[in-house]
Chains A and B, each alone.
Chain A
Amino acid sequence: MTTELNRGLTLERTADRNSFGEKVTGLLDQLYGAALRLAKNREDAEDLVAEAVAKAWASRRSLKDPEKFRSWIFRILTNTFISDCRKRALRPQAETFEEHPSDAESAFSLFEEIHQPFLLWWGNPEKDFLNKLLSQDIEKAVDTLPAAFRVVIVLSDMEGFSYQEISEILRVPVGTVRSRLARGRGLLQKALWEHAKDAGLIKSR
């Protein structure tokens, strides 16, 4: 009786593990892509994903709706990252999660800097600008963002989560998601502009 019960439990655990493994494997590139932009380097990103996967397995019973597996595991990933940031904040020169750039800095618009309405028919400086940017330029600009803004940019622009999903992942109101996204995008555009000036992609004004 006990042996049969044990065998049943083992089979259940194996089925559980296989199903969990399949889901995680299917999302591994996405989890790693997000982790890479959060942690900023390959090794830390791999550690972050591995830690999140182990935590997800340990708390798999807390997932009530299997349809929400993706947002659930991303929540674990971002929470792991945020708690790492907070632990590291005690060390000097470490990145903190709480940073609030001024509104003036975050209201920056690349389009307003680049757009030239009189060139409308025979030139497209905005398109030219984007074409000159390499993927590494964009990665570097994302990496300059304070963590609180980087997280929402990663979840929204890179991973395609809705504002509501991001609000649930980060456990903040939707209004906070909106404002962090707006400010994060402004900062990102400012970083791209500065980089483009430094790299000589555009003439500084």
Chain B
Amino acid sequence: MKKVKTIGCEEALKHLLAYLDQEVGAVKHREMEHHLEICRTCFSRAEFEQSLKTRLREVGRGTVRASFEKRIKTLFGRF
């Protein structure tokens, strides 16, 4: 396996959100993992951004009211 390039904090921060979104390629992913293993500040930041994403995900969950479910079923009946 090719040796992983060591990247600095600036480079890591540039790709951090895309990395957390699983939107970086395999090489960049390995570089990010390597950097987060050796840099405590960037690791803490990654942890924070991930926790915020998780909270957002939770907030985005909606539960429809029974009256709305009924409205949609009535709509289906007209199709």
Contact = CB atoms under 8 A, between A and B. Distances in A.
Interface of A: 13, 17, 20-21, 24-25, 28-30, 32-37, 42, 45-46, 49-50, 53-54, 57, 110-111, 114-115, 117, 120, 126-127, 130, 133, 135, 138-139, 142, 153-154, 156-160, 162-163, 178, 181-182, 185, 189
Contact of B76 (A21, A37, A138): A21
Contacts of A30: 62
A contact face: mostly helix, strand, loop, or mixed: helix
A28 B59 contact: no
B55 A36 contact: no
B60 A34 contact: yes
Contact of A130 (B17, B51, B72, B76): B51
Contacts of A163: 21, 23
B60 A50 contact: no
Contacts of A157: 53, 56-57, 60
Given A111-B49, A163-B23, A158 B79 contact: no
Contact of B64 (A29, A153, A159): A29
B10 to A, nearest CB: 13
A41 to B, nearest CB: 12
Contacts of A127: 48, 51
A190 to B, nearest CB: 13
Interface residues of B, number: 34
- Which of B22, B23, B53, B65 has most chain A Cβ within 10 Å? B23
Given A57-B79, A120-B40, A157-B56, A24 B62 contact: no
Interface of B: 17-18, 21-23, 40-41, 44-45, 47-49, 51-53, 55-65, 68-69, 71-73, 75-76, 79
Given A21-B76, A181-B17, A46 B45 contact: no
Contacts of B44: 111, 115, 126
Contacts of A110: 48, 52
- Which of A21, A35, A117 has most chain B Cβ within 10 Å? A21
